[in-house]
Structure 1
Amino acid sequence: MSNWIEANVKDIVWWTDTLFSLIVNADVAPFKAGQFTKLSIMMDEKRIARAYSYVNSPSSSDLEFYLINVADGLLSPRLAKLKPGDTVMIESRASGFFTLDEVPASEQLFMLSTGTAIGPFLSILEQGDVWQQFSEIVLVHGVRLNADLSYQQRITQLQQTYPRLQYLPVVSREQPKAGLSGRITTHIADQSLFRYCKLTPSPSTTQFMICGNPEMVKETSEILTTAGYSRNRRREPGQITVEQYW
């Protein structure tokens, strides 16, 4: 049963003409970094709700969500019109298993994301507990355009706090200002992603968390499975933990 409460809009940050972050305050139940909740509005006495991952660490009082304004969407265009002082409904209890306690400890962790799916990884990194499980972490963000690489300031701050954090943008539709050109899947298949990071992964030393476009999640999982990695399950720990993002 859903438990909807009111959230007050604190701020909206626009990154591009379609990408924005919604920051709200609400008395939600405690959640784990990597989990998601739902935002909703009422329309003609019908609730329109969608799931969004927390971008903020669980200790932050500002609740942050990273969204794409889908032109013909039912909810995102209405969320995009919110102003500070407005209210939106939020589900007080979080959900999801894309969390550190579901991932076995190892030496290396590759966080592979596309688009707005970088959000849960930022939450995990902001919380900082991840460094008790891994000594090398690579945050990979696949986007179409350089302008879609949001949260640069926050990522830089994280790298200053945690010097072992590598950040790798992968830009598919124009020449990247930094990082690699093309698609994450291609660079994993031909190992160029690992060469770029100067890391040599193996099933005994490496974990992969994959979040984003379902096609990317599926294709990357297949490439890694062929290379000897396996899906991480509670009864049978592996090296691949995934979350579909829509």
Structure 2
Amino acid sequence: MWTQGLVVARRDWNDKLFTLSIKAEIAPFIAGQFIKLSQVLADKRVARAYSIVSAPDAELLEVLAIKVEAGQLSPALHQLAIGDAITVSTKAAGFLTLDELPQSADYSNLWFLATGTGVGPFISMLRTQAPWLKYEKIILVYGVSYQTDIAYHDVIQQLLLQYPKQFVFIPMVTRDPEASVSMANALHCRIPQGLVSGELETRAQVDINPQSSQVMICGNPEMISEVQTLLLERGLSKNLRRAPGQITLEKYW
């Protein structure tokens, strides 16, 4: 089912990456879930899924999107201005949530591995109290091509100030290695390469292992496939309801 939403704010992180803040009446959701946005284009309804970046108790729905030139919906979304209408699904969906993780107290470290707009569900989770109450260390690894592709850097900086001993942020910037990333711990390689070399864990000062780590992955399917293979080789297993493990993932396109 659909409801009419209203764009009440937008933020452009660069010329293609943007956040829409939407006022819409939808059913309660869990941090990490996604909704669908749709528009009627050329007499045809076009709908796509977008993760909710806002916390469940926020007044507005935030979605992070990137304009894809050949995309069916994202160019139209990129043109939306404050006051424009947008159709929103009334119920969120998805299983990339903290509720789906094993509840054993042995898991003291939570890793978020994201590329591009796949960081959205993790920002939503980090805006809640749930991860901070459960895990000793939370590591957000955010892979982008350019420094200017880092969205929600202000939220991340605030979390670093609020949880200086608990939160680690590692931006992975691949295409402008000479750029001066304003946040500490930056690496200039892809996430899989950082795992293979050991640099990622060295920067985090936390090991990824099946005894103490939960790893959530969202973003580029190629990255997810490579990282999952590397983690399986280390003895971690995919997290399933019938067989709890340490790897929870969601392909973002």
**TM-score interval w.r.t. the shorter chain?**
over 0.9
Q: Which residue pairs with 2:167 in the alignment?
A: 165
Q: Which residue pairs with 1:135 in the alignment?
A: 136
Q: Which residue pairs with 1:36 in the alignment?
A: 34
The 3-state SS of whatever aligns with 1:238 is coil
When structure 1 is superposed on structure 2, of 211-220 and 128-137 the one drifting more is 128-137
The separation in 2 between residues aligned to 1:30 and 1:101, in whole angstroms, is 15
Residue 236 (structure 2) pairs with residue 238 (structure 1): no
1:139-191 CA distance string (max 9 Å, x none): 00000001111211111112222221111000111115341011000111222
Q: Identify unmatched segments of 5+ residues in structure 2.
A: none
The separation in 2 between residues aligned to 1:81 and 1:43, in whole angstroms, is 13
The 3-state SS of whatever aligns with 1:170 is strand
Matches within 5 A, 1:75-154: 75-105=73-103, 106-154=107-155
Provide the aligned length of Structure 1 versus Structure 2. Answer: 244
The 3-state SS of whatever aligns with 1:180 is coil
When structure 1 is superposed on structure 2, of 112-121 and 159-168 the one drifting more is 159-168
TM-score (norm 2): 0.94
2:206 to 187, 191, 199: 199
Q: Identify unmatched segments of 5+ residues in structure 1.
A: none
1:48-98 CA distance string (max 9 Å, x none): 000000000000011101110011211111111111111000001001000
Q: Which residue pairs with 1:60 in the alignment?
A: 58
1:193-219 CA distance string (max 9 Å, x none): 001111123211011000000000011
AA matched with 2:227: T
The separation in 1 between residues aligned to 2:96 and 2:162, in whole angstroms, is 23
**What percentage of residue pairs aligned between the two structures are identical?**
42
TM-score (norm 1): 0.97
Residue 215 (structure 2) pairs with residue 180 (structure 1): no
1:14-35 CA distance string (max 9 Å, x none): 1111111111100111000000
Cα RMSD (Å): 1.0
AA matched with 2:229: E
The separation in 1 between residues aligned to 2:42 and 2:6, in whole angstroms, is 22
